[in-house]
Chain A
Amino acid sequence: NAGVTQTPKFQVLKTGQSMTLQCAQDMNHEYMSWYRQDPGMGLRLIHYSVGAGITDQGEVPNGYNVSRSTTEDFPLRLLSAAPSQTSVYFCASTYAGSYEQYFGPGTRLTVT
């Protein structure tokens, strides 16, 4: 098992550009989540999904879109990047009935 994978590892964007952060898991987990990590703020939930076709907002959803067309993939889209979205992004997954989340290695995004 590869576990939870994220691409790219690093990305630099200009303000206004769009991009998609990829997240995939091969553990057949129903639940997937996106978090962002900022200094002094811990990790904050952006969006999450409880299964294919079902997504919901977390604590800091503004500026981000998600969709879940398959169990394996949960991409995070930035439609118009802003400097405030400079952060490290972590994807996580778990199976229904468990509370232990498995994290990917993270994507470090810089918006200039």
Chain B
Amino acid sequence: AQSVTQPDIHITVSEGASLELRCNYSYGATPYLFWYVQSPGQGLQLLLKYFSGDTLVQGIKGFEAEFKRSQSSFNLRKPSVHWSDAAEYFCAGGSTGGGNKLTFGTGTQLKVEL
């Protein structure tokens, strides 16, 4: 079955520190992958997406993610976290054989310490 796993429920980092949020996927066909961010009480904002091609994907707000097929991972990174990055982050994915349906991970709550 297709699945997306975010192993970390909560992560706390200091402002200015680097960040890596983990995402693992399980798809038989070529996956397409996304990272979304959700601030409290808000909707979902797309940070970045991977469909094919270059495995390092740049997104908004200084985020990037790297698709690693050998590790079935699509981890989100940021070199220097800002206090405004505190939010919940969702990894989502689908496959070319699965229509346009997305499967979401359970989310990682990011806390930024000043």
Q: Measuring CB to CB, which residues of chain A are less than 8 angstroms from any residue of chain B?
A: 31, 33, 35, 40-45, 48, 50, 58, 90, 92, 94, 96, 98-101, 103-106
Chain B residues near A35 (CB-CB < 8 A): 104
Q: Is the CB of B102 within 8 A of A45?
A: yes
Q: Is the CB of B94 within 8 A of A99?
A: yes
16 A-B residue pairs with CB within 8 Å: A31-B99, A41-B106, A42-B6, A42-B105, A42-B107, A43-B102, A45-B102, A50-B99, A96-B100, A99-B32, A99-B96, A99-B100, A99-B102, A100-B34, A100-B49, A101-B100
Given contacts A42-B107, A99-B32, contact A105 B43 (CB under 8 A): yes
Closest to B99 in A: A50
Closest to A38 in B: B106
Chain A residues near B99 (CB-CB < 8 A): 31, 48, 50
The 10 closest A-B pairs by CB, nearest first: A42-B104, A43-B104, A99-B32, A31-B100, A42-B106, A105-B43, A103-B44, A106-B43, A42-B107, A94-B100
Closest to A105 in B: B43
Closest CB in chain A relative to B38 CB, distance in Å: 9
Q: Is the CB of A103 within 8 A of B43?
A: yes
| B51 part of interface (Cβ distance < 8 Å) | yes
- Interface range, B side: 20 to 34
| B25 part of interface (Cβ distance < 8 Å) | no
Number of A-B contacts (CB under 8 A): 54
Which residues 59-85 of B sit at the A interface, judged by CB distance below 8 A?
A: none
Closest to A104 in B: B43
Report whether over half of chain B's contact residues are helix, strand or loop; otherwise say mixed. loop
Most buried by A among B6, B46, B101, B103: B101
Chain B residues near A50 (CB-CB < 8 A): 99-100
